[in-house]
Amino acid sequence: MKLRTLILALTFLMVPLASHAQRPFEQRGITMLQTEKVFFDRVAGMGAFEVYVKELIDAVDGAVAKLPKSSPSSGFLVVAVKPGGRSRVWLDIEPNISGEAAHAIDTAAENVYPLLVKSGVIVFAIKFSLWGGEPPKGMVPRPKEWEPEAEKAGGEIELGDLVLRVWPD
């Protein structure tokens, strides 16, 4: 229950008010990709998670603001964090954006120092739209880079385990 309340609070605090001019990057919500128990067992503190998410959003917003305007898109910025200050991101976006834009978003997000993770890996996603795109329709991201490992695993695999297969270092 605590996690759902936090997600709701983060969503309302970070979504720009409709009266403001449309921004190139608009955060549309947070999707937790692991159970509350897994998440709370691995994260050092919820306050740190809130700060980290805000810093990610600010960094990506700043990077996108510097890009030339493009066609509307929407999707997910999937974020994984491991102990030792290591993070990795993947984009799941439709329609696709330029390589330059994708690189700018990835670089901005990965340059934010991650929150402290005690063990394992945590995985969540920031739902967003770019250049006036509609909010993403799906509830769960499916980065293309994950597909080969998901197919190898067959059947169901816990998302944290899948991320560790895709990002083994």
Question: Model confidence over 110-136: pLDDT tens digits?
Answer: 999 999 999 999 999 999 999 999 998
Average confidence score pLDDT of the chain: 87
β-strand partners of 29: 127
Domain boundaries, the chain: 2-166
Cis-peptide into 148, omega within 30 deg: no
Residue 32: both structure tokens together: 């937790």
Give the per-residue pLDDT at 9: 44
Better-scored residue on pLDDT, 49 or 15: 49
Q: What are the residues whose beta carbons fall under 8 Å from the beta carbon of 126, sequence distance 6 or more?
A: 27, 29, 30, 31, 53, 56, 57, 60, 76, 77, 79
Over range 93-118, report the average pLDDT.
95
Separation between Cα atoms, residue 89 and residue 102, nearest integer Å:
11
Between CA 43 and CA 45 the distance in angstroms is 6
Residues contacting residue 6 through CB under 8 Å, at least 6 positions apart = 46, 49, 50
pLDDT tens for residues 143-158? Answer: 999 999 989 988 788 8
